[in-house]
């Protein structure tokens, strides 16, 4: 039975990947940080066979301890401060975890393996945010990086240090340059989830308005369940190489709003949405779109869920969540829209959920 260690097991991708590897017959170890991490019951609920080990990407000795316990054949390094907005507010912490954490994990492998890095395959979660203010479209493996946030810069460091260990120590180490991928388990701070949750609450009469930041951006959004399969495929190749994983289609924030509101029967979303400068970032990335030709050709990977299906899946899951657990009342600080609310259908037609999506999406 192959053994896999996942850092970031409590995150969106960690949960999908853990489920995916457990279903493939792996013995799955997940690294969790902090005292009595509140997400542990969620992880254990999703992946009953998981074995959780305590460690932190800021603490080298804890990483060595985790490796000694797990004795992994494959390591998926997903742990990070992953929210671009937070990286501007806590840049040093982001550099330490998202950037230096990669180096610490690679060093931990070298120490645990007493100098050789044989016998372990390592996956680094690189990001399309590394491209930033790019001059090439679509972005591919050879596109130059120009990160526009502390998050993007930290990811560039992690990306290059992974390459460096491959070249210097013959490590079987690769990076997946993943474009945005979402799901009903996406954190509430991320735009897609913020929108789908707010739309569900507006449809149920629990919220009046959605405040968003910069709307002049477009992203290549895919489904997280598809993307974790690509991570695994990369580690099954003969040689370690870096791959772009993307749908190849970019969508604007307006597209996202249109699909989400339409799904609950609202044709005109504008009265419900306002721009709020508090959510603007010091620098932003306008348009990203990836070219996954290499992944298609070498890994045989392709996305199975398109953008509309993805957003509708997320709205449907958030409607279910909201009906089960209404959550706190809308903040009084949120300004109301100038228009009155229109009646919305109580029960929007739920689309079929694609495989690997829990209909009981708990928010993780």
Q: Pick from 87, 310, 350: which is nearest to 183 by CA?
A: 310
Residue among 3, 37, 137, 306 that touches ligand NAP (CB under 6 A) = 37
By CB under 6 A, tell whether 247 contacts ligand NAP.
no
Alpha helices in the chain (DSSP H): 12-23, 40-46, 60-70, 84-89, 91-94, 101-112, 150-169, 191-203, 224-235, 253-263, 293-294, 307-324
Residue among 28, 64, 80, 109 that touches ligand NAP (CB under 6 A) = 80
Number of residues near ligand NAP (by CB under 6 A): 27
Q: Pick from 87, 102, 100: which is nearest to 152 by CA?
A: 87
Q: Pick from 115, 120, 119, 138: which is nearest to 128 by CA?
A: 138
Cβ of residue 142: shortest distance to ligand NAP, in angstroms?
18
Residue among 5, 18, 46, 56 that touches ligand NAP (CB under 6 A) = 56
Q: Pick from 6, 111, 98: which is nearest to 60 by CA?
A: 111
Residue among 11, 152, 184, 240 that touches ligand NAP (CB under 6 A) = 11
By CB under 6 A, tell whether 181 contacts ligand NAP.
yes
Cβ of residue 335: shortest distance to ligand NAP, in angstroms?
29
Q: Based on CB atoms, which residue is closest to ligand NAP, 180 or 321?
A: 180
Number of other residues whose CB lies within 10 A of the CB of residue 300: 8
The answer, yes or no, to whether the previous bond of 138 is cis (omega within 30 of 0) is yes
Residue 129 annotated to the active site: yes
By CB under 6 A, tell whether 178 contacts ligand NAP.
yes
Q: Pick from 121, 245, 131, 226: which is nearest to 179 by CA?
A: 245
By CB under 6 A, tell whether 183 contacts ligand NAP.
no
Q: Based on CB atoms, which residue is closest to ligand NAP, 127 or 250?
A: 127
Cβ of residue 178: shortest distance to ligand NAP, in angstroms?
4
Residue 127 annotated to the active site: yes
Residue 264 CA to residue 210 CA, distance in Å, equals 15
- Of the residues 27, 129, 229, 312, only one is catalytic, namely 129
Strand partners, 181: 222
Residue among 5, 12, 174, 315 that touches ligand NAP (CB under 6 A) = 12
Q: Based on CB atoms, which residue is closest to ligand NAP, 227 or 261?
A: 227
DSSP conformational letter for 129: G
Q: Based on CB atoms, which residue is closest to ligand NAP, 58 or 206?
A: 58
By CB under 6 A, tell whether 8 contacts ligand NAP.
yes
By CB under 6 A, tell whether 310 contacts ligand NAP.
no
DSSP conformational letter for 90: S
Q: Based on CB atoms, which residue is closest to ligand NAP, 132 or 348?
A: 132
Residue with the CB atom nearest ligand NAP in the bound state? 11
Residue 6 CA to residue 123 CA, distance in Å, equals 10
Q: Contact, 25 vs 3, CB < 8 A?
A: no
Cβ of residue 55: shortest distance to ligand NAP, in angstroms?
7
- Of the residues 82, 127, 149, 218, only one is catalytic, namely 127
By CB under 6 A, tell whether 127 contacts ligand NAP.
yes
Cβ of residue 342: shortest distance to ligand NAP, in angstroms?
33
Q: Based on CB atoms, which residue is closest to ligand NAP, 52 or 344?
A: 52
Number of other residues whose CB lies within 10 A of the CB of residue 194: 18
By CB under 6 A, tell whether 7 contacts ligand NAP.
yes
Residues 6+ apart with CB under 8 A from 179: 128, 219, 220, 221, 222, 244, 245, 246, 247, 288, 289, 290
Q: Based on CB atoms, which residue is closest to ligand NAP, 230 or 266?
A: 230
Q: How far is CA 231 from CA 128, 140, 165, 294, in A?
A: 15, 17, 19, 14
Binding positions for ligand NAP, rule: CB under 6 A: 7-14, 33-34, 37, 39, 56-58, 78-82, 97, 125, 127, 178, 180-181, 187
């Amino acid at each position: 039975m192959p053994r896999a260690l996942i850092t970031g097991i409590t995150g969106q991708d960690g949960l999908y990947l853990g489920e995916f590897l457990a279903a493939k017959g792996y013995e799955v170890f997940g690294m969790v940080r902090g005292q009595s991490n509140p997400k542990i019951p969620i992880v254990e609920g999703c992946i009953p066979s998981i074995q959780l080990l305590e460690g932190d990407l800021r603490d080298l000795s804890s990483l060595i301890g985790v490796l000694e316990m797990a004795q992994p054949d494959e390591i998926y390094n997903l742990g990070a401060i992953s929210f671009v907005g937070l990286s501007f507010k806590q840049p040093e912490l982001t550099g330490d975890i998202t950037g230096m954490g990669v180096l610490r994990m690679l060093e931990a492998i070298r120490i645990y393996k007493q100098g050789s890095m044989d016998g372990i395959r390592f996956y680094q979660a690189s990001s399309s945010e590394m491209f930033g203010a790019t001059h090439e479209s679509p972005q591919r493996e050879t596109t130059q990086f120009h990160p526009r946030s502390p998050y993007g810069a930290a990811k560039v460091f992690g990306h290059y240090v992974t390459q460096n260990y491959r070249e210097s120590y013959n490590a079987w180490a690769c990076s997946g340059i993943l474009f945005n991928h979402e799901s009903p388990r996406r954190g509430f701070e991320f735009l897609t989830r913020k929108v789908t949750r707010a739309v569900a609450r507006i449809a149920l009469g629990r919220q009046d308005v959605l405040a968003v930041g910069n709307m002049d951006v477009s992203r290549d959004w895919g489904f997280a369940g598809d993307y974790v399969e690509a991570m695994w495929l990369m580690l099954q190749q003969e040689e370690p190489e870096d791959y772009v994983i993307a749908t190849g289609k970019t969508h604007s924030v307006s597209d996202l709003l249109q699909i989400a509101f339409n799904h609950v029967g609202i044709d005109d979303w504008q009265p419900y949405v306002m721009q709020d400068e508090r959510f603007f970032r010091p620098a932003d990335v306008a348009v990203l779109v990836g070219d996954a030709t290499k992944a298609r050709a070498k890994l045989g990977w392709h996305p199975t869920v398109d953008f509309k299906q993805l957003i509708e899946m997320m709205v449907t899951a958030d409607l279910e969540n909201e009906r089960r657990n209404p959550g706190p009342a809308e903040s009084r600080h949120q300004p109301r829209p100038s228009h009155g609310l229109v009646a919305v259908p109580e029960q929007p037609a739920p689309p079929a959920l694609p495989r690997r999506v829990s209909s009981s999406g708990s928010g993780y």
